[in-house]
Amino acid sequence: MAAPVASGSQAPNREDEHKQILNPDILKDFLPSRVFPDVASEKDSGMVAGGKKQIISLCFEDTGRTCVTAGEDEMITYWDVLGGKKVKGYPSAKYGVDHLTPTHQKGHLLHSSTKGDEDDVRLFVADRGSYLKYYKGHTKRVGSISMNPAQNTFLTGSHDGTVILWDQRADKAQGMLNQMEGPCLVDWDPTGIVFAVAMPDIHYVCLYSNNQLDKAPFESGTINDPELDKISVPRRNPYITSIKFSNNGKYLLVGTSGVFHYVMDSYDLSVLARLEGHEGLERDKRGNMSIKSGKGLSGAEVCWTPDSCFVMSGSWDGRICMWDLTPPPGEARIPKPVPLMPHMLPAIPTITPISSLNEEKSGGPCRALAFNPKYMVFASAGEAMAFWLPAKKGAGDDDGDQMDIKMEA
């Protein structure tokens, strides 16, 4: 992969000419530029119960130049995005690795564990190849980590029913929400002032203020979707596996292991859209699904694009589905559904994919997906790791050239 600009002359003070606004046509034309098959299976036979080892978590550092993955091979692997190559892998067989979360310092990475009773969060430093800090406070496994976009603080949500606020520089917790209903998922809004907590066991989402942890949530809501009654009786609510604010702060993406994802208004938590068209990752590697909804392989497969206009999701059949969340012309936000009659719940609009990639359905389930915050490239992972770039449009384009995303407010 070449320099992070489109091909062409680089005249002074004309940086915008080398940036491109993401649109449906560009998104549909993404192709895998680099593919690394069986990347989590290189150090041994590569098999676990149900099939090949897979990558389960990936992230980009703030600069967009480094991607980090973690897999069932219990390795933390660093990738050079601009070069499209693996840099180095670090073993973590003692703890296992999940929920990779970059800090604001280059090479500093938070992650949770996958082993036994390990319920700490660890701060890994690539330059040292070792851990700098251990954050102890949870009594069960951590299932969610979110770095404050504006400060050196972060949140963790655990299966012990607690949410803890940490300062990256301190050993002890800075605050705690306890007595929540079951496992908790967390995410900061783009200002770092408000954060969301989702409780999958009760299908509940609430919003808290950073400086009022001792107060009740200032907003809360549930996802009450009558469409689920058409699938099974009694209703089988899909298990919430991730929550993510859009970069413009207007929406909250609620990822589930089922056949629907949801988009909520981040102000009042009304449900704005139901996203369908993918195959949920609730199944295990053999394709089996339990009677009760559960996490399955889901958790890292759905994300926003940096412009807050599109959602992308991996699918159990290997496809990558894309939905357009651009507001209608003349509107600043996705319109809220209106009930047909007073005292009735409004019908949730269904949005189907504008396109899907990997239609040949190769490589097994797409378990992890992230769009680069700075460059026109995204990464997908499962059994294989791939970097995706827009298709070339002219004979003069170099293979692998990248284009900056022009961010709009």
357-408 tens-digit pLDDT: 987 777 789 999 999 999 999 999 999 999 999 987 654 444 444 445 544 4
Cβ neighbours of residue 162 under 8 Å, at least 6 residues apart? Answer: 137, 138, 139, 176, 177, 178, 180, 184
For the record, the structure tokens of 51 come out as 């099939």
Q: How far apart are CA 27 and CA 312, in angstroms?
A: 10
Q: How far apart are CA 62 and CA 67, in angstroms?
A: 10
**Residue 368, pLDDT score:** 96
Peptide bond into 234 cis (omega under 30): yes
Residue type, position 136, single letter: K
- Which has the closest alpha carbon to 387: 114, 85, 134, 89? 85
Q: How far apart are CA 213 and CA 352, in angstroms?
A: 38
**Residue 171, pLDDT score:** 85
The verdict on residue 101 lying in a domain is yes
Q: Which helix (H) or strand (E) holds 338?
A: none
Residue type, position 61, single letter: E
The verdict on residue 340 lying in a domain is no
pLDDT band at 1 (very low <50, low <70, confident <90, very high): very low
Query: In this structure, which long-range contacts are made by residues 283-288, counting pairs with CB atoms below 8 Å and at least 24 apart in sequence?
Result: 283/316, 284/50, 285/49, 285/50, 285/51, 285/54, 285/364, 285/365, 286/50, 286/51, 287/316
Contact 401, 6 (CB under 8 A): yes
Residue 76: which domain range? 16-335+348-405
Highest mean pLDDT among 40-54, 331-345, 394-408: 331-345
**Residue 396, pLDDT score:** 44
The verdict on residue 100 lying in a domain is yes
Contact 24, 378 (CB under 8 A): no
For the record, the structure tokens of 282 come out as 């609730």
pLDDT band at 42 (very low <50, low <70, confident <90, very high): low
For the record, the structure tokens of 290 come out as 């339990």
Span 138-166, average pLDDT: 96
pLDDT band at 46 (very low <50, low <70, confident <90, very high): very low
Is the confidence at residue 9, as pLDDT, over 70? no
Exposed (0-12), middle (13-18) or buried (19+): which is 70, by Cβ within 10 Å? buried
What's the CATH code of the domain at 123? 2.130.10.10
Contact 379, 387 (CB under 8 A): yes
pLDDT band at 157 (very low <50, low <70, confident <90, very high): very high
Is the confidence at residue 80, as pLDDT, over 90? yes
The verdict on residue 342 lying in a domain is no
The verdict on residue 383 lying in a domain is yes
Lowest mean pLDDT among 33-47, 157-171, 314-328: 33-47
For the record, the structure tokens of 16 come out as 């915008």
- How many Cα atoms occupy the beta-carbon half-sphere of 68 within 13 Å? 25
The verdict on residue 6 lying in a domain is no
Is the confidence at residue 315, as pLDDT, over 90? yes
Query: Starting from the edge strand earliest in sequence, which strands make up the sheet with 98-102, in order?
Result: 98-102, 108-112, 121-125, 130-135
304 vs 37, residue with greater confidence: 304
**Residue 321, pLDDT score:** 97
**Residue 32, pLDDT score:** 93
Q: How far apart are CA 90 and CA 76, in angstroms?
A: 5
Contact 186, 144 (CB under 8 A): yes
| Strands of 162-299, DSSP E | 163-167, 173-177, 185-188, 194-199, 204-209, 219-222, 240-245, 251-256, 260-265, 271-276
The verdict on residue 245 lying in a domain is yes
- What is the tally of structural domains in the chain? 1
Dihedral sign from CA coordinates of 54, 370, 185, 88? positive
Span 11-24, average pLDDT: 63
Average pLDDT in the chain: 87
The verdict on residue 191 lying in a domain is yes
Cβ neighbours of residue 195 under 8 Å, at least 6 residues apart? Answer: 146, 155, 186, 187, 188, 189, 207, 208, 210
Distances (CA, A) of 94 to 46, 56, 114, 115, 116: 18, 17, 9, 8, 10
Is the confidence at residue 13, as pLDDT, over 50? no
